[in-house]
Amino acid sequence: MVKLILADDEPIITRGIQKLIDFPSLGATVIGEYEDGKSAMDGIARLNPDLALLDISMPEMDGIEILKKIKELKLATKVIFISGFQDFEYAKAAVKYGAVDYLIKPVIRDELLKAIEKATEDIRDAGNVDWTEGDKQQGIYENYSKLNKKGYIPIIAEVMFDNDVNEQTEKLMKFSFNSFLNEYLENHQRGIVFTKDENTVLVLNGVHEDEAEIILHGVRDEAEAFLNQKIFFVVGEYVEEISDIPAAYKRCYRYLGFDYFASFIPGRILLTGEVQALEEPSVSEFECMEKKVISSIVSMNLVELHLYYNKLVKLIFKMSVGKREDACFYLCSMVHRADERVREILGDGEQRSMSELLKSARNCDSYKELTEVFGEYLEAALRTLGTIAENSDKNVMHVAKTYINEHYAENITLSILAKVVHMNPYYFSTFFKKCSGINYKDYVSRIRIEHALPLLVSTDQKLYEIATVIGFSDARTFSDAFQKIYH
């Protein structure tokens, strides 16, 4: 006799099912009825029924959580979902891989009969037992009982949910994804899938690293068409022994943060071996490209801005090595310096603080979104500078400050600067102070000090060496200028 329970937060549904189906004639008996998920799970744990007919949305604990708990406890209870969630049509197709079936209310008698008959056949089929999930320290070979060829590659697979997907839908889709992978790997005899640390883990069997990527392209295409969501894979290292799989998985786990950068990873398949061999750009490379980005804004060249900005975001991707917070900081620092430069040229305007920029960056769900948002900031700064051409005084100051910023390391005299803007030297000195609130010598010193800061922080150069590079005559003059600005 097959033992079963019924659970629905509407008692009229459970009573209706019992009137609809003659369970004894099917060789089944109802041993429990429940009105919330927690009571249903308690009943399953206590009574160990063969079959559970569950509403997918119940108070205390939903159907997906119950199914997950059943697997965690290694119970043999089969599940049929009954739900009023007609929007989840994809779940009906997906759950058939894991649960017995997914039925929409109002329940059609023939569909329910067919689902119960299928469940009872599975229950009575002694050979149809779920393989062990998890990663026990004892009996480790039980975890991988379906792996029968030499060579293994652990892979973590993630569904990259859209922002508008709610929590309930995520649970259904994760369950659907795991069931799809299990079916796919079994059909192709490629390996196994299980859940570890709430991650979906694949272990490909009998393949080498070059084959794994080809297989995953096929898995990705079918899964994305099935779920209508993007998939991201972290591919671990190849190991020859089953006993080495847990350690290889742990090393793979360290790279989960790269899903934030998925749009910069070919095929959204991260090969951890290639990441380990990746050569990080130097600080000087980053600073050089940052200067080119800011210079393109100052010269109001949109084409160059796009060119250098795209190169910069690729450098930041490499420098961050999967760390989201590092990427946010690098990009925020660059935009902050660009803001500062634009404000200097305009002589007015509010500058965004680093805390404001970081808050904006942390609200971005992916590196692609982050680069798009901050790219718009930079384009807006360029457009703002474009307005200064309407004001002749600001235009002259723009030309003068641009020249100083590009030639700060040279001996910039008042005569040279006045000649650049086509003014009398005496008049230009007065004009510069009136427009900027600072005389041109102090302004030149300030620009030199700004260019000195990265050298002070990130190099081992001595003060007199830095002083020479940035245009001061000696270390004493450099120190005096630094103290005047930073006290």
pLDDT tens figures, 413-459: 889 988 888 888 877 888 888 888 888 899 999 999 999 998 998 88
- In contact, 220 and 236? CB cutoff 8 Å: no
Q: How confident is the model at residue 387 (pLDDT cuts 50, 70, 90)?
A: low
The answer on pLDDT for 327 being more than 80 is: yes
Distance between CA atoms of residues 37 and 462, nearest Å? 70
Distances (CA, A) of 358 to 70, 261, 340, 362: 43, 17, 16, 6
Angle, in degrees to the nearest 10, between helices 283-298 and 302-320: 160
Q: What is the mean predicted confidence (pLDDT) over 174-196?
A: 83
Q: pLDDT band at residue 144, thresholds of 50, 70 and 90? A: low
- The enclosing H or E element of 126 equals none
CA angle 479-481-484, nearest 5°? 110
The predicted pLDDT at position 140 comes to 38
How many CB atoms lie under 10 A from the CB of residue 459? 13
106-115, 131-140, 287-296: segment of lowest average pLDDT: 131-140
DSSP-assigned letter for residue 108: P
Sort strands 191-196 and 51-55 into parallel, antiparallel or unpaired: unpaired
Q: Is residue 235 within 8 Å of 271, Cβ to Cβ? A: yes
C-alpha to C-alpha distances, 382 to 24, 336, 363, 376, 401, nearest whole angstrom = 78, 14, 24, 10, 16
Inform me whether the pLDDT recorded for 314 exceeds 70: yes
Tokens of 257: 């943060």
Query: What per-residue confidence (pLDDT) applies to 131?
Result: 30
Report field, pTM of the whole predicted structure over 0.75:
no
Tell me 387's DSSP state: G
What are 12-30's pLDDT values in tens digits? 888 888 888 888 888 889 9
Name the one residue in this structure whose structure tokens are 């742990």. 250
Average pLDDT, the chain: 83
